[in-house]
Amino acid sequence: MQRKAQPVIKALITGILLIAVTTVMSLAQVRTTASPQKPLKVFVSVDMEGIWGVVHGNQCSADSPEYQLARKWMVEDVNAVVKGLFEAGATEVVVNDSHGSMRNIIASDLDPRAQLISGSPKPLSMMEGIDSTFQACVFVGYHARAGSAPAILDHTISGAAIFAIKINGIEMPELGINAAIAGYYQVPVVLLTGDTETCRQAQELLGKDLIVVPVKEAVNRFAARNFAREKVLNDLREGAKKALSSVGIIKPYVLQPPYQFEIDFHHSNQAELGLLIPGVRRPSPRTLVFNTQDYLEGFKLMRALIALASVS
Ligand SMILES: [Zn+2]
């Protein structure tokens, strides 16, 4: 039985070898004729209160001598993230300076592979520059919503004017308001960095799959334990790499229309001038409410109402 079967086995082995060689050759051909790397554009919005080392408003204000150090830490945090993004395959990174004057990052200090959107005002403010050509969005140095504790420099857009902002009944931190802008363009937020409370709020709102990198733990509003610098910079870089691998898994944060925006100010006078705008209602002395079908329109009207609060 065994001897008679030998020629058949030989023929079978030759056949299998031929098929294997042909398959390897065709695979090699596919590899050499494969299309160039798919674009992987990443939008990075950078605030300052959630940067490593920052614990007080003086460090975030250009008129304080402490500011120069904090802006150095800011670009260091950003560069660690940008490095991780490029290592993970990003083809383009756009960084939007999103704090105060929005001229905190010294352009020549940023990783030279990244683009920088600098200055203000900008129509989409902290999200200026994002559109549907991006595959991922990252928030660096973000802070918790107004009324959080313990959380470094908690506020929502304007510490002087805003007690709370609700959109469709959800009390929003800036990270939520901005994530919904990214969601408007179908772009998922894949990474957030800031203090531990901000990271908690981000995962609560955007989901547990969101990669977060805590850089400090607040003791109260103006004091924090900053984690070891070397570990933080490494965590930021590794976090960015890990976050890009979740592109396609994390869904964009999309709020469904119709949208109701509710803005609670600290004082009744801050709601006065907003009433000049058609469609804006004042259900209580400190509160303005309006409805819209378009999220970006709502975001812009909200910004205008907050600007009016400062001159009321
Ligand atoms: Zn800020």
**Is residue 202 within 8 Å of 209, Cβ to Cβ?**
no
* Statement to judge: residues 52 and 93 lie in one domain: yes
Quote the ligand 1 centre to 96 CA distance (angstroms).
12
* Domain CATH code at residue 281: 3.30.1360.130
| Token code pair at residue 81 | 């993230």
Mean pLDDT score across all residues of the chain: 92
pLDDT-derived band at 208, boundaries 50, 70, 90: very high
The pLDDT of residue 130 is above 60: yes
Quote the ligand 1 centre to 265 CA distance (angstroms).
18
Quote the ligand 1 centre to 16 CA distance (angstroms).
65
Domain that holds residue 28: 1-34
Which residues are registered as beta bridge partners of 46? 97, 140
pLDDT digits (tens, 9 = 90+) for 226-247: 999 999 999 999 999 999 998 9
* Statement to judge: residues 171 and 64 lie in one domain: yes
Domain count, the chain: 3
* Statement to judge: residues 161 and 47 lie in one domain: yes
pTM of the model: 0.88
Quote the ligand 1 centre to 51 CA distance (angstroms).
10
Quote the ligand 1 centre to 60 CA distance (angstroms).
8
Tell me if 274 is assigned to some domain. yes
**Is residue 194 within 8 Å of 50, Cβ to Cβ?**
yes
pLDDT digits (tens, 9 = 90+) for 63-110: 999 999 999 999 999 999 999 999 999 999 999 999 999 999 999 999
* Statement to judge: residues 17 and 123 lie in one domain: no
**Is residue 156 within 8 Å of 174, Cβ to Cβ?**
yes
* Statement to judge: residues 7 and 59 lie in one domain: no
Quote the ligand 1 centre to 70 CA distance (angstroms).
12
Tell me if 272 is assigned to some domain. yes
Task: Please give all residues whose CB falls under 5 A of ion ligand 1, grouped by chain where several chains appear.
Answer: 47-48, 99
* Statement to judge: residues 140 and 268 lie in one domain: no
pLDDT-derived band at 11, boundaries 50, 70, 90: low
Q: What is the 3-state secondary structure (H, E, C) of the chain?
A: CHHHHHHHHHHHHHHHHHHHHHHHHHHHHHHHCCCCCCCCEEEEEECCCCCCCCCCHHHHCCCCCCHHHHHHHHHHHHHHHHHHHHHCCCCEEEEEECCCCCCCCCHHHCCCCCEEECCCCCCCHHHCCCCCCCCEEEEEEECCCCCCCCCCCCCCCCCCCEEEEEECCEECCHHHHHHHHHHHCCCCEEEEEEEHHHHHHHHHHHCCCCEEEEEEEEEECCEEEECCHHHHHHHHHHHHHHHHHCECCECCCCCCCCEEEEEEECCHHHHCHHHHCCCCEEEECCEEEEEECCHHHHHHHHHHHHHHHCCC
What is the structure's pLDDT at 4? 44
Which of the residues are catalytic? 155
Tell me if 267 is assigned to some domain. yes
